[in-house]
Chains A and B, each alone.
Chain A
């Protein structure tokens, strides 16, 4: 694009050299940004500029760039993924900004998500929660025929809605208490709704909640900020289900 008809933006980006370094917001200019670019493409161009100037480029996580991997973890203008309904950062386009805008870009902030560098955080705590119970331990064999395991459509839909979670951590980043209850609730609900998962439901919810606490996540106080921040719109009814599954687990050995 040779003509100068794009937007000019001022970015305030969190720069932090390493996990223990003190970080701060640095301001950069983004010139001639096309409205058709994605947010990450805009950052790529800013980084090319920075490299040319001999400045270390901004480190940020990304992978699929099509809204399914959950890697792109940025809080944009105070909202995880930028606040466009059901949209990841990689699917956010520059047409939702105006010429002259200031944009604040920060990493997920939570004790359980230590910053690795700049906008990159370590979300391994979510994996630890899954490892502690987000699975079915019996062998279910190869992929069965579509209709071989009879599951009512309602239960299948419910499990599928919960399984939509991409594990990006926006629920934690948006939560005033930095809790991962929506993430945990989605996995607990998904498995508890299906026949293969039901058998281990009590043990699963206990173990996953124990790990959640050990990882340093907070506790839900029902602000419902997580659902609003979730790029997949995972419903807070799965937190109620998590609480219900926990209640049931009290009475099961």
Chain B
């Protein structure tokens, strides 16, 4: 395939898969916010039940997300390796004019998230017993997601893992969002600052949304 051989083709695949995952993160944070609606974990049990009502759909969705992630991570790692091979010698003094912490550390914030995603799935999806997950059912006989999450985040260590990962998410998306538009060629000098601004805002809102859950539970607000 021509696209897979081309420098830009591979980059475009990484950009599209990345932006799809940003969309997923936005939907995910909106869904999670149901934990704030009502007492004791709120509406999250009802939300979770609806999500899992039709198992084939759940599995199709999981496979699609896994494929997106694998493509993104594969090209993220290989392109980063190719890029460092293209710059074998470093400058004794180098001052960056435009590159920033987020853009320079995409691979590291990405790898933090990769580790996090694996942990997160073992924690709340597989509900690995060695992670001390409080599995149970609520008064209506539904899986008690609210209690599971609240119990987990009363542990400062688990709350910290989620918060650190979401800071990585913020950094990654704050560069990645606008980077997508540039990479797929939907950008010019007029739209650049707009995409940069929207990207930072989206990254901030999504990250704050996710962080608020472990942070507020840890501080016993829920």
Contacts and interface: CB of A to CB of B under 8 A. Distances in A.
A228 B98 contact: yes
- In the A-B complex, list the 6 residue pairs whose CB atoms are closest, starting with the nearest: A244-B185, A218-B86, A228-B97, A78-B95, A223-B99, A243-B185
A250 to B, nearest CB: 6
Interface in A19-44: 25
B192 A174 contact: no
Contact-size category for B: 35 or more
Contacts of A131: none
A12 B3 contact: no
26 contacts: A12-B92, A75-B91, A109-B89, A109-B91, A111-B86, A209-B8, A218-B82, A219-B8, A219-B86, A220-B11, A220-B183, A221-B11, A221-B179, A223-B103, A224-B99, A225-B96, A228-B97, A228-B98, A235-B189, A236-B182, A236-B189, A237-B187, A239-B182, A244-B185, A246-B9, A246-B12
Interface of A: 12, 14, 25, 75, 77-79, 83, 104, 106, 109-112, 174, 176-179, 206, 209-210, 212-213, 216-225, 227-229, 235-237, 239-247, 250
Most B Cβ at <10 Å: residue of A209, A212, A247: A247
B55 interface: no
A78 B93 contact: yes
Contacts of B8: 209, 219, 242-243, 246
B192 A212 contact: no
Interface string B23-48: 00000000000000000000000000
Contacts of B186: 240, 244
B188 interface: yes
B109 interface: no
